[in-house]
Structure 1
């Protein structure tokens, strides 16, 4: 099977490369220097010779606050490019796996979001991702897998875990928001589900995160505790909880965005989600080992 992965520099692509390292499939990674996914001509020129069986779109504009003023660039990557990639897949018979976000929901529900719950994004980033979802499901509903995730991190790239470790090493104290609730997700598990969807050409809309729930404050405390335990931090500092109102940002974040994974567990039976704290510990062991 010829698998093409778009977005080769991100943390999901990093984990996909590890997941597919010893596979029997032909895998091609393409980044922004290889193909302009906002251009139909570029997509056709670069992808047509590859005889794509499955395309995994791991690219995204993820600067949530910057998106509020940089809407054109955000929409180009998260909506227009998805439409063009889906159109290419429809024309060539390729299957497409696309990753979306909890930000397509408004965050007011108060219980885990089902895959068919109403979409109501609160900011430019969420709206762009929702438009990308809509395009995918309109163009190739019978040949695509849409996977929503949340709070993704990895040993590769920039993310909340590495930011917290840096700040905890540099600052005498920290404050972290405690009224936004979701689920941290190691990109490794997300990559496993994406590969499973690709290989089996699993059609539908699914949610994938690690198990359990946390606030950003809970997440930060776990990072400090594990960082100290694994030798990534030398000293523990005071970490205090604050409400979102004390840390205003340009983009509105969902207050509650836990995703229901019932359908995913049933369909992707070979992928076993673990509790977010166990996953965080495993990833931080990688950081400690210098992997």
Structure 2
């Protein structure tokens, strides 16, 4: 499996123990996953990404399944001064200590994974939502904040950062406190899809990403019976809820010509 970094712990400790075959898991930012496959550098049996638009380009599978959703949160370490300032600021004022430079915050690379560009899109929407005089997307980000997705929250343990712009599941699975952002800016609520779409980010390839509902997608590239069995558990397993993902009642949803052995 080649998968989004935000899925790594969930797959290693949730999916792997629930299946009877050996599963090798390699995780990167989703844009990096897509690029590895599109350029022929990797040839996984299963690919799972944190943004289904990557299945439009650069990946072009015949079909895929949307299997979980998520939300953007501000995760923080309550045992640091910066983390406590965020806790005190709460959902209405979290950006203020960031603007003052009182909090060391981490994020991921927007050119490598959806979490990275969703962090910037969230800050763009937050400027409008909170009506700030300062452009939060311009004022808060800096290159020194960037960490690999698979290592982002672990930076709390070594004291490198006080907080992180992260997915909800990343905070839940490590037991860290987090600030739930308003639905208008956290990419979790389909009723705000038009609002999300007003934010954009251009990848190095020239592809322009529009903000949208967070939806994880997966497809298989080799329909061996063992692969199909792992895939079905991957997109339907109870482990997803246990590790902090949200699975709507109508998921998984299939796009394209999915094989009968997967959909039935």
Please report the TM-score for the alignment, with normalisation by the length of structure 1: 0.29
Please report the TM-score for the alignment, with normalisation by the length of structure 2: 0.31
